[in-house]
Amino acid sequence: MKLLSLLLFLSLPTLSFGQYNYSFLKEYFFGRQPSARAEAMGRSYASIDGDLTTAFYNPAGVASIQGLELSGSYSSPYYLAKDANYGFVSVCYTFNDYLVIGLNRNQFSFGKNIIFTDDQGNTLPYSPYETNYCLTIASQPIKNLYLGLNTNCLIWQPLDRKATAFYFDFGVIKKFSFAQKVASGHSVNLGASIVNFNYGKITLDNNGKKLPHVLPVITRLGANYQFTLDKHWLIDTLKTFNFLIQGEFQDVLNSGYETALRTGGEITFLEILSIRAGYYKETIDDYGNPAFNKGEIKALTYGFGLQIPLFKLTNIPLNINFDYTSLPQPDHTTAYYNFGNFTTYNLRLNWIFKDKK
């Protein structure tokens, strides 16, 4: 844990930084998640590795991916914006243990055109969106130590103007394996990440007037425990049972809100079916009106996953994962509003170049 803390502190800049406005781009940074699996397990993912969507939470998780992986997810709606959607597409390639490179594109769109009148009186339709292009570089310099770095280019188009910002993320995961036997094994992951460690800003030009907006600086500390049982029941090449439980703490360094505690877990049978559940609570702004607005939200989460490990069942070196969750949208007021569920789908294809494990 000392190593994780040291690496994070070395990432922090020495320059002063501004305060993040709680509501700015909240739908992108704190709204929908690119991983249905993470959503189902209490939105905690900072200590998970071997999944391309981990680049959003902790880029170090990409370092243990084998071969070529393609990943995509889709989530909708966003509260009263029924046409709003969040999409994530990514690809990564493993050159060797020391170098894994990934390209990711995250976009939140309100989906529906808004009619906007410009300064010349022209009526124009616009669909507001936020798009982030991310280059992930991850490495395993020594066995079971994963490091990752994201370079992000965020494009924000609220109406007829665009603004661009560059920011960087860093993460580390350390895996510990112990009590490994022929038919069973245990492991623990410790993970830490910081999003926007350069304290980036995005500036919108409004008729020559510069409007800077500070982006959130998000830190995450997580841990998970896994137990695997391999009794060779039913199918010899598939592990019989895997149990995972995890926890995470999130803090936004330049805001008093979005501090979160998260926990979740999953049970996987024969490396095919996963059942997931979780819980989280996080602080939010009550805008000085606690009688009407909540200062904290809490939610139970759940979902499932299906995996087809063709590389263990056939000579085809392919692993297919499908993850799904459909959850109620948390109400931020003390009055009850039923916003309905949002649904997230996630598909991952992993072409494995290495030998079967």
pLDDT of res. 113: 67
Mean of the per-residue pLDDT values of the chain: 89
Residues 119 and 127: their CA atoms lie apart, in Å, by: 18
Residues 130 and 213: their CA atoms lie apart, in Å, by: 14
Phi, psi of 100 (to 5 degrees): -125, 130
If one counts the domains in the chain, the total is 1
Indicate the pLDDT class of residue 119, thresholds 50, 70 and 90: low
**164 Cβ neighbours under 8 A, 6+ residues apart:** 153, 154, 155, 156, 202
User: Is there a contact between 29 and 216 (Cβ–Cβ < 8 Å)?
Assistant: yes
The more confident residue out of 263 and 8 is 263
- Domain assignment present for 335: yes
Query: Range of 287's domain?
Result: 2-351
By three-state DSSP, how is residue 84 classified? Answer: coil
- Domain assignment present for 356: no
- Domain assignment present for 31: yes
Question: DSSP letter string over 108-177?
Answer: EE--S-EEEE-TTS-EEEE--EEEEEEEEEEEEEETTEEEEEEEEEEEEESSS--EEEEEEEEEEEEEEE
CATH of residue 105: 2.40.128
- Domain assignment present for 357: no
Average pLDDT value for residue range 51-58 = 95
How confident is the model over 216-233, as pLDDT tens digits? 999 999 999 999 998 777
How confident is the model over 169-203, as pLDDT tens digits? 999 999 999 988 888 899 999 999 999 999 999 98
Average pLDDT value for residue range 117-145 = 84
Residues 141 and 120: their CA atoms lie apart, in Å, by: 57
- Residue 315 per-residue DSSP state: S
Q: What is the pTM of this model?
A: 0.88
User: Is there a contact between 66 and 350 (Cβ–Cβ < 8 Å)?
Assistant: yes
pLDDT of res. 209: 78
User: Is there a contact between 90 and 102 (Cβ–Cβ < 8 Å)?
Assistant: yes
- Domain assignment present for 79: yes
Phi, psi of 263 (to 5 degrees): -150, 155
The encoded tokens of residue 134 equal 């991310």
